[in-house]
Structure 1
């Protein structure tokens, strides 16, 4: 896509960048066609990312300067990345700038590209965004080798942001970068990194089957694709047995080691910055990754003992305590409403988040409300897992099923526009009405206690009008959580 003349002017701003970025999203029909065809990603995905990098002025080997920590997994990879960043930020006097690339974002796309814990500014985002855009417009590829990279073509949404992150971190002089894999690992666009300092795999589960496969073994094979020769790899204990075996095989193929990380007892004595008892597993993995990274840079001299009794450095403990990661076991108190927020969207994560809400609120004598959506995965199954986990300890007095549309006007916040779902399905509230029926069957409740809304703003109005103390569990989707936080801020964009 080529920009209109108005967007080629020197005064292009952040909103112009977001508009151009949104134009790179795959539409719903295209995604469904890929799923139906069974076409899974292959090496062309990696070759194209290497070529895009060349087009904007980099050899892939240039990115070795970033000293990347590469993290994949099904559940907890984002939290692990955040904890790793929290630890390494305690060493920023030595490390200088620490970059973090994650997905998806909640309020603003800038959250995906952070330096020293902070999203890059709108000015930096738009500056570097259009530098990449213009370089792609000014260069070309051999169309025989790269038939999907014709003149004027740009990478898709996630690939573009990955490319942008490399450019930002290189230009800003980041000497340590943490990369969270988007989907899988083997063919993910982040996997052009040749020499990471260390790799990590959080808990495995079944997700993104149309791209990664239907079994835990196939998914583990994909995740293990980030392993590189000479870069130690770490994973959490208690992985599915067959998945763990595949990860070990992948490590052997790549001529590296894979070590299991226990839960460190010392971490049980601190209050982690991300709530939820299950987060100690992610914090332990982050501890191992950060420690190995610092050893590889010769900042720490001794490897970490992988025993539950291992002594954890004080700076590590401080970093884990100060980690902030919105939308994961987050609590916000506003007047007489307490919001319990987690963007869980897989079986494992919805069970963990539901257990957290149950354990925290079961003894509170307040009304309980569920605010839920999941637009693209098996929403009814997720709702069932939630109900099984939370009952009978907690009974909801009401449930609201909303779309991810931000405002009652029918508009999305600019950074949250999504073309990856069926507009017709959203407009007709098909998913929400099916969830309403499912919840009534699960709870044997009356229809009046189960509402459907066409926007997140409308859902929040219903809750605020209840006029009494209430605990609200917001879950099912990070897209829902992002829109919820924007509406709660009350700042239409």
Structure 2
């Protein structure tokens, strides 16, 4: 197969279906001679913040002249984004070579009576092959969904585990309560593998801490006491870490949202542990200041912001940033929202309407098969606000609309990473990784 045929094959694999067992994925890895097994692997789970933590950690390690393979999901514009070697997406040639190795091995397994891997399982194994061929020293793995049963959890002995913030999402799969969801995320904890986790949510903190103790795991907690907010200047946030590592000097991050401080600190502590340093080098500080997070309140063109917030916890933070930027711009924004059917948009939309002030709200349907129609989203908005509602059925016809509105006011587009990807693609944008 050529590159386009390989991508088409992968996209034809069911995405949201029953997972295979971890032993199934391990068997596939074993048949491939367990690629990546000798690398220093950091395994990252959580509801929100996983991608940001992965990017911060990757950048810090690169700043220390280490080679890093990073596997994240979903991609925003192009599937190669999921496989980063340092900051570069895997080449089409590298992608295709890994694809053929996995494809051929899968066919051997099927001949033995094994099921075909799911979409995510196939991509995860491809990532391990890609990183083995690139001979990276460090691998950063973001879980796809949950943790305990996620394909990435087939890695038997990572170097470090990280769990980011926990909140309601994918309840039909992970459980209805925070405790149940936290239990699934805590499933990545492995005996004697150090853990760093976000402990701001009390219920999840108790579950994760107990799991760590039961597994004899050394752990560190990052929460609101781990830093002091010093100043917010537009996109620049200054903070003072309050850990035994800091030198009592002010750090900065260059992304919107105070919540990103905790994500940065999770990565900073992780890097210090991985590199076995008892202090934070000045290079850490410089790297964190210059790190950019694609798809997280990203200004893709002037005055048009995109954010992947898709559950109530993430939307709550996105609304805070939206209000901050609008106040600084001294203009009521346009808020564009989209959603996929398994998200709790009937709770999210009322929150948006009561926690933001907008010139008007707009809704758009996604090309994704799980996308909720613009008409259905508009009905929920009409139930919760008297402001004007603009309905668009696809992103292409939305682009001229948001471009014209952004001449005089900020436009915020959120509700799904699929929306972020479609908007960036339509605007001719790309992820921060190189093509």
Is the TM-score greater than 0.5? yes
Q: Are 2:293 and 1:354 equivalent residues in the alignment?
A: no
Shift, 1:347, TM fit: 0.9
Report the equivalent of 1:46. Answer: 22
2:203 & 2:409 partners in 1: Cα distance?
43
Shift, 1:215, TM fit: 1.0
1:182 & 1:121 partners in 2: Cα distance?
22
Secondary structure in 2 aligned to 1:271? strand
2:146 & 2:399 partners in 1: Cα distance?
35
Name whichever structure is richer in strand by fraction: 2
2:193 & 2:9 partners in 1: Cα distance?
37
- 1:20 is matched with which residue: 9, 13, 19? 9
Q: Map residues 434-445 of structure 1 onto 2, 5 A cutoff.
A: 434-445=376-387
Report the equivalent of 1:260. Answer: 221
Report the equivalent of 1:454. Answer: 393
Shifted more, 98-107 versus 114-123: the winner is 114-123
CA contact (8 A) 1:51 1:141 kept: no
CA contact (8 A) 2:329 2:409 kept: no
1:380 & 1:286 partners in 2: Cα distance?
34
Shifted more, 63-72 versus 363-372: the winner is 363-372
Report the equivalent of 2:231. Answer: none
Aligned-residue CA RMSD (Å) = 2.2
* Distance 1:457-1:290 versus aligned 2 partners, 3 A rule: same
Secondary structure in 1 aligned to 2:220? strand
1:373 & 1:49 partners in 2: Cα distance?
34
CA contact (8 A) 1:236 1:261 kept: yes
CA contact (8 A) 1:88 1:319 kept: no
1:244 & 1:321 partners in 2: Cα distance?
28
Report the equivalent of 1:307. Answer: none
Q: Map residues 284-299 of structure 1 onto 2, 5 A cutoff.
A: 284-295=265-276
CA contact (8 A) 1:267 1:317 kept: no
CA contact (8 A) 2:166 2:182 kept: yes
Report the equivalent of 1:369. Answer: 334
Q: Are 2:162 and 1:162 equivalent residues in the alignment?
A: no
Report the equivalent of 1:73. Answer: 46
* Distance 1:490-1:74 versus aligned 2 partners, 3 A rule: closer
2:9 & 2:350 partners in 1: Cα distance?
39
- 1:389 is matched with which residue: 343, 355, 376? 355
Q: Are 2:208 and 1:232 equivalent residues in the alignment?
A: no
2:395 & 2:310 partners in 1: Cα distance?
17
Shift, 1:359, TM fit: 1.0
Shift, 1:441, TM fit: 2.8
Secondary structure in 2 aligned to 1:259? strand
1:247 & 1:481 partners in 2: Cα distance?
31
Report the equivalent of 1:110. Answer: 80
2:376 & 2:104 partners in 1: Cα distance?
45
Report the equivalent of 1:197. Answer: 159
1:290 & 1:433 partners in 2: Cα distance?
46
2:352 & 2:281 partners in 1: Cα distance?
37
1:103 & 1:85 partners in 2: Cα distance?
15
Secondary structure in 2 aligned to 1:159? helix
2:43 & 2:149 partners in 1: Cα distance?
14
Unpaired runs of 5+ residues, structure 2, are 229-237, 241-249, 431-435
Q: Are 2:100 and 1:130 equivalent residues in the alignment?
A: yes
CA contact (8 A) 1:86 1:322 kept: no
Shift, 1:155, TM fit: 1.1
Shift, 1:64, TM fit: 3.0
TM-score, normalised by the number of residues in structure 2: 0.88
CA contact (8 A) 1:350 1:382 kept: yes
2:397 & 2:110 partners in 1: Cα distance?
47
1:476 & 1:328 partners in 2: Cα distance?
11
Shift, 1:108, TM fit: 0.9
Shift, 1:252, TM fit: 2.3
- 2:304 is matched with which residue: 312, 316, 339? 339
* Distance 1:290-1:466 versus aligned 2 partners, 3 A rule: closer
Shift, 1:91, TM fit: 1.4
Pairs aligned (count) = 409
1:320-351 deviation digits (Å, cap 9, x = unpaired): 122222110212344xxx11221101111101
Unpaired runs of 5+ residues, structure 1, are 1-6, 35-40, 305-311, 406-417
- 1:217 is matched with which residue: 161, 176, 179? 179
Bigger radius of gyration, 1 or 2? 1
* Distance 1:294-1:454 versus aligned 2 partners, 3 A rule: same
Q: Are 2:210 and 1:249 equivalent residues in the alignment?
A: yes
Shifted more, 207-216 versus 325-334: the winner is 325-334
Q: Map residues 135-150 of structure 1 onto 2, 5 A cutoff.
A: 135-140=105-110, 142-143=112-113, 146=114, 149=115
